[in-house]
Amino acid sequence: MARLKTAVLISGRGSNLQALLDACAEPAFPAEIALVVSNVAGAYGLTRAERAGVPTLVIDHKGFDGRAAFDQAVDQAIRAAGCEAVCLAGFMRLLTPDFVAGWHGRMLNVHPSLLPAFKGLHTHERALEAGVRLHGCSVHFVTADLDAGPIVAQAAVPVLRGDTPDDLGARVLVQEHRIYPLALRLLAEGRLRLSGGVVEIDDATRAPESALVNPAP
C-alpha cells in the first residue's frame, strides 16, 4: 500500500510533529512524513525530524518580500518533495488563500480548543477566564479563515480547580498527540469526505455513548 506522503510545517518545539513521526514509524500506518519545513531556524522540531531521519528545510519568512512569495516557496518545496498532504503543527504563520486553495481537502491543523470556541491564540487562558468546565483540542481541515475549517476530530478534557493555563495546556496537549495521528490516518485512508462544510467519516469507530461531565455528578 502506498503511504500518503505528508509535509509537516512547524515553527517551534514540535511535540505534535513528534506524535506524527511516532505514528508514521509504524509500518502499517498509511502516511509517511516526507518533509518537515520550519519558518524558524533552530526550531526544536527540526531536531526531532532529523532524529527520525526525515528531510528538513528552513524557509525563513523574513527572507521574503510578502506572504505570497513565502507561501510560494513553501508550496514549491513540498510539491518537489512529492507531498500530497500537509499537516500544520504549531506553524505560526497565516497562509494565503492561494496556498490554502492549492491544498483544499488535503491540509490539516491541530488547534488547542474545542472549536469553534476560542479560535486564535492564548486558548487556555481564555478558557479559564470564560469558566468553561470542559476544554480540549481539535484537528480540522484548513480553510482561508483562521481555525474555522471543517472539524475532523476532537478530544475534551475537564478544567480542574486551581488549573493554571500551563496545567490545562499540558492536559490538552496529551490529547492533541492522540487525535492528530488519528486524523492523519483517516485522511490517508481516504475516509474523510467534505460535505457542505462538515466532515463525514466513512466507517468511523463510534465514540462511547457516555458523556464527560465536569464536575462529576
Query: What residues are labeled active site?
Result: 111
Lay out the site mask for ligand GRF across 53-92 (x = CB under 6 A, - = otherwise): ------------------------------------xx--
User: Please, are residues 43 and 14 in contact by the beta-carbon 8 Å criterion?
Assistant: yes
Task: Report, in Å, the least distance between residue 109 CB and ligand GRF.
Answer: 7
Task: Report, in Å, the least distance between residue 16 CB and ligand GRF.
Answer: 3
- Is 14 one of the binding residues for ligand GRF (CB under 6 A)? yes
Q: Which three cell numbers stand for residue 137?
A: 483540542
- The CA distance from 209 to 81, in Å, is 42
- Is 6 one of the binding residues for ligand GRF (CB under 6 A)? no
How many residues belong to the site for ligand GRF (CB under 6 A)?
12
The region of 6-14, 52-60, 97-105, 160-168 touching ligand GRF under the rule CB under 6 A is 6-14
Residue nearest to ligand GRF (CB): 90
**In what helix (H) or strand (E) does residue 138 lie, and over which residues does it extend?**
strand 134-141
**Contacts of 41 by beta carbon, 8 Å cutoff, 6+ apart:** 58, 60
Q: Which of 14, 22, 157, 158 is nearest to 88 (CA)?
A: 14
One of 13, 61, 126, 191 touching ligand GRF (CB under 6 A): 13
Q: Which three cell numbers stand for residue 157?
A: 478534557
- Is 181 one of the binding residues for ligand GRF (CB under 6 A)? no
What is the CB-side half-sphere exposure of residue 161 using CA atoms within 13 A? Answer: 2
One of 75, 84, 112, 143 touching ligand GRF (CB under 6 A): 112
One of 71, 75, 84, 176 touching ligand GRF (CB under 6 A): 176
What percent of the residues of the chain are helix, what percent strand, and what percent coil, each to the nearest 5?
35, 25, 45
Provide the binding-site residues for ligand GRF, judged by CB under 6 A: 12-16, 89-90, 110-112, 173, 176
